[in-house]
Structure 1
Amino acid sequence: MVAISAVQSSIDSSKIDEIVSRIERLPISGWHVKARVIIGVATFFDAFDALAIAFVLPVLVPLWKLTAPHVGFMISVGYLGQLFGALLFSWLAQRFGRVRAMVWSVLLFSLMSIGCAFAWDYQSLIVFRTLQGFGLGGEVPIAAVYISEITRAKGRGRFVLLYELVFPIGLVGAAVLGSWVVPNLGWHYMFLVGAAPAILALFMQRLLPESPRWLAVRGRDNEAEASISYIERETEKSSGKPLPSTQPIVTTRQQPASWSDLFGAQYLRRTLVVWLMWFAAYLITYGLTVWLPTIYRTVFHLPLALSLQYGLLTQVIGLLGTLTCALTIDYFGRRPWFAASFAGSAIALGTLWFIGASSPERVLAMVSIAFFFSSVLSIGVYLYTPELYPTRARAMGVGIATAWLRLASMIGPSVVGLMIGGGLENVFLAFGLIAAIAAVVTALFAIETNGRVLEEVSP
């Protein structure tokens, strides 16, 4: 952030205000949908690669004679790479631009997916998964920042979340392909499929203009003008209508980026709340769902194909939850949806602890209900977090917040691996209590951002 300050201190905020007003007059158009699709392809494979390990492990456990702690560490190590990747690529996005950072991250996780396909033992797969995690951790938060910055306030929740739906679709895609590819072709092919977006990375920078908001904040006025003019032309072309005249929206107070943009008087509460939301949501999401196929296989001794199908069904239920949220969040608002989702997960997991996890069907039913709600949170925080920080620090704010996702994703699977010997009920109770705490904190302390211009929420 210190490096940014010298640039920003000499910037006239009038250009930033102009860019904001021009973005806010843009209707959602075919160009916006095209941008969402291009980035969505990369995000689909990010999700696919993140979950692929869950459908590979039921084969690798007997093949490499892995223990439960081995499995937990294998799952967690990829998230260690994602933690550092989120921090690294958020800094790169703040320093070199959103689009360039996305290209680099996509290229990295695609190449490392090929490495995973050719792993020859447990240790080599650990290395490739860690390196792959750097790219996986960088792409999704920067994509969320970019989509938020090119979208006007009206309808932003629906538009961004319909893009974020690509991530759970990627999870479902991993489940669908995994349930067929792994038994029929072998585990190596799951990783080979995940390498596909390397081709997209070669063209992404030509297909997408840089965020005009970021360019203006960096003082690159000519490039900001070229970027917003391109978006305006494409919007007019796809809509077939002239754009309305610009109206003053906000008056920004340009200042250097600093840690006060995350921890100052205006931002500290929202930072702490959103960190808790990220940690709790993904502790539940990855702590349970990544383990599910292996639990069905090793605890309930279901056939491999049925174990994978049960995992697929849970992913489909989660997708329905995210779709429901995407279509209604601009009506109900962020805070009510998020608080209710944490509460729903807590009730489902608490019920499973109370009645006992005595059958795979009971586990499938209650965990799927919990996943319906936790999936809302998993994509909702990608909408919510960019809204909480100013453009000058948005990528860093989102990147550091997603580091809590990676920390939770490391801890969750390892906790399951350590606790599973004492009974599944204790695992569900622990996750249910965390969801209950997050529900209370979110309801009491989260701020509402629905329908507000980014610069109004975060000056």
Structure 2
Amino acid sequence: MTKPIRLNAFDMMTPVHQSPGLWRHPESRVEEFTQLSFWTDLAKTLEDGGFSSLFLADILGVYDVYGGNADVTNRGGVQFPLLDPLVAVPAMAAATTTLGFGVTASVTYEKPYLLARTLTTLDHFTNGRVAWNIVTSYVDSAARNLGLKGQIPHDERYDRADEFMEVMYKLFEGSITPDALKADADANVFVDPNEVHDIGHDGKFFTVPGQALAVPGPQGTPLLFQAGASKRGQEFALDHAEAIFFSGPTPEILRSWVDKVRDGLEERGRARDAVKIFALATVIVDDTDEAAEARLADYRRYVDTESALSLFGGWTGVDLSGADPEDTLEYVSTEANQSALASFTTMAGDKPWTIRDLAEFIALGGRGPVITGSPETIVDEFERWMTEADIDGFNIAAAVRPADAERFAKYVSPELRRRGLLPEPTAGATVREQLTGAGPAWPRTTRVPGTASARVPASDRTGPTNRRTAVRHNGLRPFSDPRTELRPRMSASTPLTATDDSDDRGYRRRALVAAAVGYGLDGFDLLILSFALSGIIASFGLSDVEAGSLSTITLLGAVVGGIVFGALADRHGRVRVLTWTVLIFAVFTGLSALAQGYWDLAAYRFIAGIGIGGEFGIGMALAAEAVRADQRARATSWVGVGFQLGVFAAAVVSAPVIALWGWRALFVIGLVPAVFAFVIRRGVEEPETFVRAREHEQTEAEASRGNLDTNGAPTSFGAKIAALFKDRDTVKITLALTILTSVQNFGYFGIITWLPNYLSEQMDLGVTKGSLWTAVTVMGMLTGILIFGQVADRLGRRPAFWIFQAGAIVTILAYSQFTDPSALLAGGFFMGAFANGMLGGHGALLAELYPTAIRATAQNVIFNIGRAIGGLAPVVIALLAGHLGFGFALALLPIIYLIQFLAMFLIPERRGHRLD
């Protein structure tokens, strides 16, 4: 039978404790954390739920490592603002009768003489229900604000801590005897002087010659907690602690630490169970497993991974703000919380975590596992951890506060009681009795401070094994899953830096090539129709209007395809649906060669357009999801270059093919992409970002049986379109992006359609020079796309767009005034670079502004609407040129780029953000 499961609640008097971002959840009430009633109500809930104690964490500084400042910490409420937990304990104790209170106090910054009085006072006011969590502190900002130049070295802090404890034991137990307080009015003796002694301590770090200030409380020395998992921290715990708090992702990993502690206790002459060991866990419970999984998915909507990395920076002293999400986490020596760093760098054995893994893990549940399920599932999992890890209970953290504690008391506590696993607190018992089963006072015969302990080599660490599905590591797959196989470990001396993986690089290249070639085929197909039109007119006797309508019909198909296939890609996969779109426009482009008249050719072109329209957003979503965050704009720019290269290829092959075999042969060549479709399908896997999101959607859509899954993600076609306009902020972003893509396409089609005619006829350059000068402008477009990606990845999306929009305004205005051939040649290059350079940036921008569930839908709908609007440019420019001349019409284009410039103010900056 499983031994009794003892429970501590693990909390902190701050908005965000272990789950960044969850303060935004509708059930959260942490905005009330400054109200005493928030904490007294919580204490009552925990006592009703059979908790032995409320363990209150605390720090003395602000997390300012991430990004070199505290901005993310402040914005996300990451353990800031922070109230003093010791002040609130008497009120919570007055509201309860059995609940204990674990308070955190630092042996690095407190004075033992004063802290002994504070803790003894709490011991009195709580009737022996106070425990002390001994910490050495790890936040560098605390050191600076408390008068030091920096953090005291890690091991020296523990040397100080050993002496600190020696002083505390003397003050708690050796200065004033329990019988000193007489209150004898007849003898006029309140305190017997014979029962009071100076402690006479004169050590390396502390000098305390006199007597204690407070008479001993019910426990003498309060129950002692400790949470250090570094080697020096474990030695300290073995000498002093009665209870230890560990965090580990699986019971197998935790067991390796527990065994070392129990072995160390024996070496010190203490019983193996002399110290009670508690494991951190965040519990998400509901009445059924399905409802609990739905709740977990709902919680994931609110996680804040950037704040999670700020939390990590505070814990470890390691700044990951500039790290690539695919970098791996390696152990380095720091003066901060070495146990936190060690837990992340060693918890997976020989499989180091990536920064992305780390952020996702911390974002829900902090340093411990998230256990999800019905009450029965939760308790089954508790029993497994108790047996396999050999622990004595759990420190239960809450993601949504105080709702999670209330649900635990409602669902889990009754199940624990039903199985006889929850020891019922005894009124009048001290927290030492409640948690350890020992007597009310400090068990003096078991304390053996100063004894040497065994050092455990790093090679003894064991890696994780499979875990049950009830344990959800914040959405990460089990370590044994080959899809999340992590990179080989670097040497222990290697700093936290990037390690590249050839498989990852190979996948990124394949995905990028697939997206770029797909978009290139899009450009190729669109342009060969332009070259074929004269032959089509001759073959079918079409008017100019009918011939021009074939291009319009193709673009209309592209709009339809963009809407339909974007939603399909969000449901069935980027690679799979990209394959479908390539096949569709390849097959129906090939069928165009068999057309016998206008109507069947129009039908073929419309369906081919559907395939063309579907490709853009899917390819951009694939590229954005496959590459590292710091390379995203460059990746989507390369996809944009693919389109230009496709146009170039069409220009090169069309004339000789038509001369040799006629216009129909051009469309036969259009069948070639069908072969490429099979290459895509076999050589490129779905990006992990999409796979994770789709797994959640499939599971949760079944539970909701509606348009939205339980994570709030749209599942139906209509819901995905509606999600682009779900609220005021999203409407604003969607509108601004539509303006951006419309201007982009309007400028491109307006320039590229009429520029050759303008140069050859109005500027009198002739056909040959006009074509050459146009080619230089196209080269500028290609160059601009590549440069834009670099700028956007380094400076940000908004600065890059503003730079290129301003450049477009200036260069187009200047170009419209040029008459000198040399000026037109150079000016055309720069005009092309600025006016069209932004093409590739839209893919990264849209990818970062919409979630995975609707990313391809957003890309396709918004860009193809922009393409349809931009398709009007040749007509508008022609009308303006007919009345005012092409130079004047060109000079009006900067107006639309100014509109685009202003629209960027509505779009938030998301450079480097993880795709959700």
Normalised TM-score (structure 1)? 0.77
Structure 2 match to 1:392: 853
Match of 2:897 among 425, 429, 435: 435
Structure 2 match to 1:256: 713
Give distance in 2, aligned partners of 1:184 and 1:308. 22
Superposed counterparts of 1:47-58, under 5 Å: 47-57=523-533
Match of 2:593 among 117, 130, 150: 117
Letter in 1 for 2:835: S
Q: Deviations over 1:335-359 (max 9, x none)?
A: 122122222222233334445xx79
Give distance in 2, aligned partners of 1:106 and 1:10. 39
Structure 2 match to 1:317: 780
8 A contact 1:183–1:305 mirrored in 2: no
Letter in 2 for 1:338: F
Give distance in 1, aligned partners of 2:874 and 2:908. 31
Structure 1 match to 2:626: 150
Match of 1:329 among 787, 792, 803: 792
Give distance in 2, aligned partners of 1:199 and 1:270. 38
Cα distance 1:140–1:99, how it changes in 2: closer, same or farther (>3 A)?
same
Structure 2 match to 1:290: 753
Cα distance 1:202–1:103, how it changes in 2: closer, same or farther (>3 A)?
same
Letter in 1 for 2:843: Y
Structure 2 match to 1:30: 506
Query: Offset at 1:383?
Result: 1.8
Cα distance 1:148–1:176, how it changes in 2: closer, same or farther (>3 A)?
same
User: Alpha carbon RMSD of aligned pairs, Å?
Assistant: 3.7
Superposed counterparts of 1:331-410, under 5 Å: 331-354=794-817, 366-410=827-871
Structure 2 match to 1:97: 573
Query: Offset at 1:194?
Result: 2.9
Q: Deviations over 1:379-406 (max 9, x none)?
A: 2111211111011221222222122223
Larger mean CA deviation between 202-211 and 399-408 belongs to 202-211
Structure 2 match to 1:41: 517
Cα distance 1:112–1:407, how it changes in 2: closer, same or farther (>3 A)?
same
Match of 2:629, SS state, is: coil
Match of 1:281 among 740, 744, 749: 744
Q: Which has the higher strand share?
A: 2
Match of 1:82 among 545, 558, 566: 558
Superposed counterparts of 1:181-196, under 5 Å: 181-182=657-658, 186-196=662-672
Q: Deviations over 1:16-54 (max 9, x none)?
A: 7427x9699995512211222233332221121122334
8 A contact 1:387–1:449 mirrored in 2: yes
Letter in 1 for 2:887: E
Give distance in 1, aligned partners of 2:815 and 2:666. 32
Structure 2 match to 1:451: 912
- Structure 1 gaps of 5+ residues are 1-5, 224-252
Query: Offset at 1:186?
Result: 4.1
Superposed counterparts of 1:159-308, under 5 Å: 159-178=635-654, 180-182=656-658, 186-219=662-695, 254-257=711-714, 259-260=722-723, 262-293=725-756, 308=771
Cα distance 1:352–1:301, how it changes in 2: closer, same or farther (>3 A)?
closer
Give distance in 2, aligned partners of 1:307 and 1:54. 18
Cα distance 1:204–1:280, how it changes in 2: closer, same or farther (>3 A)?
same
8 A contact 1:11–1:219 mirrored in 2: no
Larger mean CA deviation between 142-151 and 311-320 belongs to 311-320
Structure 1 match to 2:33: none
Q: Deviations over 1:149-180 (max 9, x none)?
A: 22232322223333442222222222333455
Query: Offset at 1:125?
Result: 4.2
Cα distance 1:64–1:320, how it changes in 2: closer, same or farther (>3 A)?
farther
Structure 1 match to 2:877: 416
8 A contact 1:48–1:171 mirrored in 2: yes
8 A contact 1:61–1:71 mirrored in 2: yes
Give distance in 2, aligned partners of 1:311 and 1:354. 17
Cα distance 1:419–1:221, how it changes in 2: closer, same or farther (>3 A)?
closer
Query: Offset at 1:74?
Result: 3.9
Letter in 1 for 2:834: F
Give distance in 1, aligned partners of 2:543 and 2:824. 22
Match of 2:686, SS state, is: coil
Structure 1 match to 2:48: none
Q: Alignment length, in residue pairs? A: 416
Letter in 2 for 1:45: L
Give distance in 2, aligned partners of 1:360 and 1:58. 30
Cα distance 1:71–1:222, how it changes in 2: closer, same or farther (>3 A)?
closer
Does residue 1:425 correspond to 2:901, yes or no?
Answer: no
Cα distance 1:11–1:400, how it changes in 2: closer, same or farther (>3 A)?
farther
Structure 1 match to 2:476: 18
- Structure 2 gaps of 5+ residues are 1-290, 301-471, 488-498, 700-709
Give distance in 2, aligned partners of 1:185 and 1:307. 27
8 A contact 1:71–1:417 mirrored in 2: no
Cα distance 1:300–1:274, how it changes in 2: closer, same or farther (>3 A)?
same
Q: Which has the higher helix share?
A: 1
Structure 2 match to 1:238: none
Give distance in 1, aligned partners of 2:599 and 2:769. 29
Letter in 2 for 1:440: L
Identity of aligned residues (%): 25
Letter in 1 for 2:801: F
Larger mean CA deviation between 359-368 and 202-211 belongs to 359-368
Q: Deviations over 1:307-337 (max 9, x none)?
A: 6555433322211111222333311221122
Letter in 2 for 1:254: N
Give distance in 2, aligned partners of 1:389 and 1:24. 28
Cα distance 1:38–1:400, how it changes in 2: closer, same or farther (>3 A)?
closer
Give distance in 1, aligned partners of 2:758 and 2:546. 14
Letter in 2 for 1:434: I
Between structure 1 and structure 2, the one with the greater Rg is 2
Query: Offset at 1:446?
Result: 2.7
8 A contact 2:559–2:864 mirrored in 1: yes
Match of 1:256, SS state, is: coil
Cα distance 1:299–1:205, how it changes in 2: closer, same or farther (>3 A)?
same
Match of 1:210, SS state, is: coil
8 A contact 2:805–2:897 mirrored in 1: yes
Give distance in 2, aligned partners of 1:311 and 1:54. 16
Give distance in 2, aligned partners of 1:383 and 1:404. 18
Q: Which has the higher contact order (CA 8 A, sep 6+)?
A: 1
Match of 1:155, SS state, is: helix
Give distance in 2, aligned partners of 1:360 and 1:62. 36
8 A contact 2:507–2:684 mirrored in 1: no
Match of 1:254, SS state, is: coil
